[in-house]
Amino acid sequence: MKEFVVISGKGGTGKTSITAAFASLASNAVLADCDVDAADLHLVLEPKIKQESDFSGGKQASIVVEKCIGCGRCSKMCRFDAIQLNGPGNQIVGKTYTVDPISCEGCKVCVEFCPVDAISFKPAINGKWFISDTRFGPMVHAKLGIAEENSGKLVTLIRKEAKRIAEEQKKDLVVIDGSPGIGCPVIASITGADVVLVVTEPTLSGKHDLERVAQLTSNFGIKTLICINKADVNPEMSRNIANDSEKMGLKVVGKIPYDEAFTKAQIMKATLIEYTGGEIAGIVRALWREVVYALE
Ligand code: SF4
Ligand code: SF4
């Protein structure tokens, strides 16, 4: 069983549309949406949820109102300014302290210093993750709460589940919509993968992003392919990117021209392959053949 990840230096490059198109071309795959901060693969694949679970990225403090004696020690000790004197009060004091769950980093310092053991420290529910069925096979995906972090941990969980399902159902591939950027979530998306496809655009920022992402994949020793989306919008920059890629030893396996079919397919909740049999579908099919070849 192999793992194939589609990533990009930033959001909005067409990464998810391309991943969705691959989902419709892969015949025996499990799909995983690891772009957990901006998950939108489900908009096209319309998964039917079979199993829903809570995701906890770590523990969080909260003050037990009845026990707090209002000494303020926790608030002084918290270096994230997460504890304020704005609680409801109790029989001991007129006002108690409360923890702002968005600011709490779960360091546990307040818990250690509270003289009356008035701070509980429990797993925080940061989001949900799902195992679903789609018209192209099983899919593992997630919904992270607003302003929640630890998405690298959630990405790792999604990949692990997708692999487990692939093994259980004897699928030969996991197709992953990876996180954009070069931070912790993208590292969690690509570590140990067999092939990565980087989708980029012919802009200066696209070029810089590609260099950074390529550095990352090369550090991890992962076979890396490049695809330039909207390549005809700036042919000179596309050539520059292709030259740079060659110098970095990376293969440009596809140049996709700008096509409104990307947006129209998304509006129709269809993949590019389902939406059109035109030139663009042929280009994406050719791109998929390159991926399959690289995975062999
Ligand atoms: S656990 Fe750490 S970050 Fe959270 S409220 Fe306590 S001291 Fe602050
Ligand atoms: S240290 Fe404990 S008792 Fe003191 S204000 Fe904080 S929660 Fe209340």
Look at the domain 58-124 and name its fold.
Alpha-Beta Plaits (3.30.70)
Q: Does the CB atom of residue 65 touch ligand 2 within 6 A? A: no
Q: Which of 121-130, 141-150, 204-213 comes out lowest in average pLDDT? A: 141-150
Give distance in angstroms: CA of 197 to centre of ligand 2. 51
pLDDT digits (tens, 9 = 90+) for 79-107: 999 999 999 989 999 999 999 988 999 99
Q: Are 137 and 162 in contact (CB under 8 A)?
A: no
- Which residue in the block uniquely carries the two structure tokens 């198109």? 21
Region at 134 (left for phi over 0; alpha for psi -120 to 50; beta for the rest): beta
Q: Does the CB atom of residue 145 touch ligand 2 within 6 A? A: no
pLDDT of residue 150: 62
pLDDT of residue 147: 61
Q: Are 253 and 198 in contact (CB under 8 A)?
A: no
pLDDT digits (tens, 9 = 90+) for 12-71: 788 999 999 999 999 899 999 998 888 889 999 999 999 999 998 889 999 999 999 999
Instruction: Determine the average pLDDT of the residues in 136-140.
Output: 97
Pairing relationship of beta strands 98-99 and 83-84 according to DSSP bridges: antiparallel
Query: What's phi and psi for 161, nearest 5 deg?
Result: -65, -40
Torsion of CA 263, 264, 266, 269, to 10 degrees: 180
User: What is this structure's pTM?
Assistant: 0.87
pLDDT digits (tens, 9 = 90+) for 212-236: 888 889 889 999 999 999 999 999 9
Give distance in angstroms: CA of 80 to centre of ligand 1. 7
Task: Give CA–CA dist 43/232, Å, rounded.
Answer: 27
pLDDT of residue 125: 86
Q: Are 234 and 202 in contact (CB under 8 A)?
A: yes
**In terms of Cα–Cα distance, which of 216, 207, 231, 177 is closest to 15?**
177
Domain boundaries, the chain: 2-56+127-295, 58-124
Give distance in angstroms: CA of 153 to centre of ligand 1. 20
Q: Are 241 and 204 in contact (CB under 8 A)?
A: no
CATH superfamily of 2-56+127-295: P-loop containing nucleotide triphosphate hydrolases (3.40.50.300)
Task: Give CA–CA dist 110/78, Å, rounded.
Answer: 6
Q: Does the CB atom of residue 36 touch ligand 1 within 6 A? A: no
Maximum Cα–Cα distance across the chain: 74
**Residue whose CA is at the smallest distance from ligand 1 atom 6:** 110
Q: Are 54 and 41 in contact (CB under 8 A)?
A: no
Q: What's the token pair of residue 32?
A: 């995983």
Please name the amino acid found at residue 120: S
Task: Give CA–CA dist 244/240, Å, rounded.
Answer: 6
Dihedral sign, Cα of residue 180, residue 266, residue 263, residue 27: positive
Give distance in angstroms: CA of 123 to centre of ligand 2. 20
Residue from 80, 86, 112 whose mutation best tests the ligand 1 pocket (most atoms within 8 A of CB): 80
**In terms of Cα–Cα distance, which of 178, 237, 212 is closest to 18?**
178
